[in-house]
Amino acid sequence: MWIISRPLVNKVFAHAQRMLPKECVGVLSGQGREATAWHPLTNIAGDDRSFLANPEEQIRLFRSLREQGREVVAIYHSHPRGPAQPSSLDRELATYPDALLLIVGMQTDGRLEINGFLAHDGRMEQQELTIRD
């Protein structure tokens, strides 16, 4: 089970909404399977159907987290025109096997949808998320 506080989830949703029609991208940090901090990153992808975190920002963030003794708990992004399920590109680019791949689906009839997955042996395994108040 992965634990994310409601305020962090709200920040991720707000980031996804602000970035429309593009995908958002960012990191949740903390310890183990509990996310305690939100780190939005700049999506430098040249289209609306993918994401690519600014590599300089990502390197600075990962270095800072390492120096603080914190971990990357989740890497999140949004699907502005689709559900919160991994695309074939998501499956191909999942390169952090210990970090949750968190996906926000924006085309859900007014409901915000969020799901988490781990890449394991070429498969994406959906994980249980607990949203805490």
Show me where the domains of the chain are located. 2-127
Average pLDDT score, the chain: 92
23 is catalytic: yes
pLDDT at 110 (0 to 100)? 63
- Do 19 and 51 meet the contact criterion of CB atoms below 8 Å apart? no
Q: Which CATH number fits domain 2-127: 3.30.70.20, 3.40.140.10, 3.40.50.1010, 3.40.930.10?
A: 3.40.140.10
This prediction's pTM: 0.93
- Do 100 and 90 meet the contact criterion of CB atoms below 8 Å apart? no
pLDDT at 99 (0 to 100)? 94
pLDDT at residue 121 greater than cutoff 80: no
Catalytic one among 23, 71, 92, 128? Answer: 23
Backbone angles phi, psi at 71, to 5 degrees: -120, 155
For residue 75, the cross-strand partners are: 27, 101
User: What kind and span of H or E run contains 104?
Assistant: strand 100-105
Q: What is the pLDDT of residues 52-110, one digit of tens each?
A: 999 999 999 999 999 999 999 999 999 998 899 999 888 888 888 889 999 999 876 66
Closest alpha carbon to 112 in 35, 24, 37, 29? 24
pLDDT at 111 (0 to 100)? 72
pLDDT at 95 (0 to 100)? 81
pLDDT at 108 (0 to 100)? 65
How far is the C-alpha of 81 from the C-alpha of 101, rounded, in Å? 18
Q: How many CB atoms lie within 10 A of CB 20?
A: 13
